[in-house]
């Protein structure tokens, strides 16, 4: 009897192991296989050296969308046949247009983003459920021609990885969120050498968070970090992840995100320390935006540079500028302020806007 019992248990285990490790059903592939095939198609159809940006992937899970974009980038970077825009640059522009990487984006918006990033192609995709399987679509849009250059589609199985990514992207329960908060705060308290003050409710956990952060500020001193490089500064302007400043000697400096250009004549490569913009030493004021910059010199002239997709630089073109260019010939500009558009005020209280 014992022998038969062992045989039955062994058979059941074999069946379970076989089910757990079985390959995707016939006609279907795995998510990772689909991503790898899509990357190969993109590399095959797009000219070598082209600059592409992985913009968004529409699905019901932020976690799955992020996974697909990360894996697609990893596959494209293996051969380095194409120039892939850094995700941080894409995230910056995404915030300008106020859309999520897991949401839908119109072709017009993708064109605008492509121009801002200096990309020839924008890659997007989607995942929809069809019965017990999923259909994945990944395409590359030619920014200048507004045409689809590559379109890949495949049916993938509802494998464990897909299910886990979909489940991981949903909102956590209040209890799991509270537990995660408690664990994080316990580690923070241990690092600070204090007793845990984590509560047993969402409200008390939130209060504990504030208390822990206050202690962390006190421990670290909450002191600013002095810049490396540059000179003494008299004024500074920051927006997004870029900063510009005027030195005590009237020179202009910038650092941070360099898309499409901080003004030093280069673009795309970020500057981690201040770099001087030109050689002029008569800058009076400067205003930084997420994608372009405007400044006034002591002689009253107006200068702009950066992204010009909307004509916001005011030079009558839609050409991006990597160095400051003078706008018009007027010498009575008094102040400047900008966000996505540029507004300037002359000494005669005349107001004009660009973009």
The predicted-structure confidence for 257-299, as pLDDT tens digits, reads as follows: 776 677 777 766 677 788 899 999 999 999 988 778 999 999 9
Does any domain span residue 38? yes
Same domain assignment for residues 89 and 154: yes
Place 351 in a pLDDT band, splitting at 50, 70 and 90.
very low
Tell me, yes or no, whether 174 lies in a domain: no
Whole-number Å distance between alpha carbons of 139 and 302:
42
- What pLDDT score was predicted for residue 52? 93
344 falls within a domain = yes
Higher pLDDT among residues 105 and 8, named by residue? 105
Of 11 and 237, the one with more pLDDT: 237
Q: Is the dihedral of CA 220, 224, 228, 232 positive or negative?
A: negative
Mean pLDDT in residue range 21-50: 84
Same domain, yes or no, for 212 and 341? no
What are the tens digits of pLDDT across the range 157-192?
Answer: 888 889 888 887 443 444 454 555 566 556 555 655
Question: Residue 319 is encoded by which pair of tokens?
Answer: 């050409």
Q: Which of 232-241, 250-259, 321-330, 332-341 has the highest mean pLDDT?
A: 321-330
Q: What is the mean predicted confidence (pLDDT) over 115-136?
A: 90
39-53, 142-156, 277-291, 308-322: segment of lowest average pLDDT: 308-322
Of 60, 86, 74, residue with least CA distance to 32: 74
Examine residue 312 and state whether it is found in any structural domain, yes or no.
yes
pLDDT of residue 37: 95
Of 264, 263, 271, 275, the residue nearest 231 (C-alpha): 275
Point out the least confidently predicted range of 16-20, 184-188, 340-344, 351-355: 16-20
Backbone angles phi, psi at 230, to 5 degrees: 80, -155
User: Given pLDDT bands bounded at 50, 70 and 90, which one contains residue 241?
Assistant: confident
Residue with the bigger pLDDT between 272 and 9: it is 272
- Please name the residue ranges forming H helices in the chain: 2-21, 31-45, 62-79, 87-97, 107-117, 160-168, 174-192, 202-220
Query: At residue 350, does pLDDT exceed 50?
Result: no
| Residue 226 forms part of a structural domain | no
Residues 267 and 346 in one domain: yes
Residue 157 and residue 183 in one domain: no
Region of 199 on the Ramachandran plot (φ > 0 left; ψ -120 to 50 alpha; else beta):
beta
Whether the CA torsion 287, 290, 293, 294 is positive or negative: it is: negative
Tell whether 126 and 258 lie within a shared domain: no
Q: What does the alpha-carbon distance between residue 237 and residue 246 come to, in Å, rounded to a whole number?
A: 9
Claim to verify: residue 250 and residue 138 sit in the same structural domain: no
Give residue 36's domain range: 23-168
Share of the chain above pLDDT 70, in %: 63
Residue 89 reports pLDDT greater than 80: no
Is it the case that residue 305 has pLDDT exceeding 60? yes
Instruction: Give the number of domains in the chain.
Output: 3
> Long-range pairs for 146-149 at CB < 8 Å and ≥24 separation?
146/107, 146/111, 149/45, 149/46, 149/121
75 inside domain: yes
Asked if the structure places residue 292 within a domain, the reply is yes
Do both 270 and 185 map to the same domain?
no
52-82: pLDDT as tens digits: 999 889 888 888 888 999 899 999 988 889 9
Cβ-based neighbours of 51, under 8 Å, separated by 6 or more = 82, 83, 85, 117, 118, 119, 120, 121
**153 in the same domain as 36:** yes
Flag whether 36 is in a domain: yes
In the predicted model, what is the mean pLDDT of residues 30-49?
Answer: 94
For residues 95 and 30, membership in a common domain is answered with yes
> For tokens 């679509």, what's the residue?
137
Average pLDDT, the chain: 75
The alpha carbon dihedral of 28, 29, 30, 36 has a sign of negative
Same domain, 161 and 186: no
Same-domain status, 150 and 252: no
Task: Report the distance separating Cα 10 and Cα 3, nearest Å.
Answer: 11
Query: Which segment of 25-29, 93-97, 202-206 scores lowest on mean pLDDT?
Result: 202-206
Query: Which pLDDT score, from 0 to 100, does residue 32 have?
Result: 93
Scan for tokens 């600059």, then name that residue. Answer: 51
Same-domain status, 54 and 114? yes
DSSP string covering 286-312: EEE-SSEEEEEETTS-EEEEE--TTST
Which of 226-235, 246-255, 279-288 shows the lowest mean pLDDT across its residues? 226-235
The CATH number of the domain holding residue 38 is: 3.40.50.10610
Average of per-residue pLDDT across 86-101? 65
Split at pLDDT 50, 70, 90, the class of 239 is confident
Q: Which has more pLDDT, 106 or 156?
A: 156
């Amino acid at each position: 009897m014992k022998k038969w019992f062992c045989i039955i248990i062994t058979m059941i285990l074999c069946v379970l192991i076989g089910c757990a490790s079985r390959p995707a059903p016939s006609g279907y592939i795995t998510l990772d296989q689909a991503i790898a095939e899509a990357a190969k198609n993109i590399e095959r159809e797009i000219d070598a050296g082209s600059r592409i940006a992985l913009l968004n992937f529409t699905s019901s899970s932020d976690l799955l969308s992020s996974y697909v974009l990360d894996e697609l980038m990893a596959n494209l970077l293996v051969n380095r046949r194409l120039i892939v825009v850094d995700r941080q640059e894409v995230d910056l522009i995404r915030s300008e247009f106020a859309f999520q990487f897991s949401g839908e984006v119109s072709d017009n918006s993708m064109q605008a983003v492509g121009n801002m990033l200096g990309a020839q192609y924008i890659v997007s995709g989607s995942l929809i459920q069809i019965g017990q399987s999923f259909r994945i679509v990944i395409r590359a849009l030619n920014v200048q021609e507004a045409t689809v250059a590559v379109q890949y589609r495949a049916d993938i199985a509802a494998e464990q990885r897909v299910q886990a990514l979909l489940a991981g992207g949903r909102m956590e329960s209040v209890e799991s969120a509270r537990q995660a908060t408690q664990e994080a705060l316990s580690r923070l308290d241990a690092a600070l050498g204090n007793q845990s003050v984590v509560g047993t409710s969402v409200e008390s956990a939130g209060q504990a968070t504030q208390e822990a952060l206050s202690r962390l500020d006190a421990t670290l001193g909450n002191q600013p970090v002095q810049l490396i490089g540059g000179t003494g500064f008299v004024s500074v302007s920051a927006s997004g992840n870029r900063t510009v400043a005027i030195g005590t000697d009237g020179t202009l400096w910038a650092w941070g995100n360099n898309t499409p250009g901080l003004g030093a004549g280069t673009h795309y490569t970020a500057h981690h320390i201040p770099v001087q913009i030109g050689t002029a030493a008569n800058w009076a004021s400067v205003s930084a935006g997420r994608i372009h910059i405007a400044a006034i010199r002591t002689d009253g002239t107006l200068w702009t540079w950066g992204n010009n997709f909307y004509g916001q630089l005011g030079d009558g073109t839609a050409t991006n500028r990597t160095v400051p260019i003078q706008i018009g010939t007027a010498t009575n500009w008094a102040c400047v302020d900008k966000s996505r558009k540029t507004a300037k005020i002359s000494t005669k209280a005349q107001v004009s806007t660009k973009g």
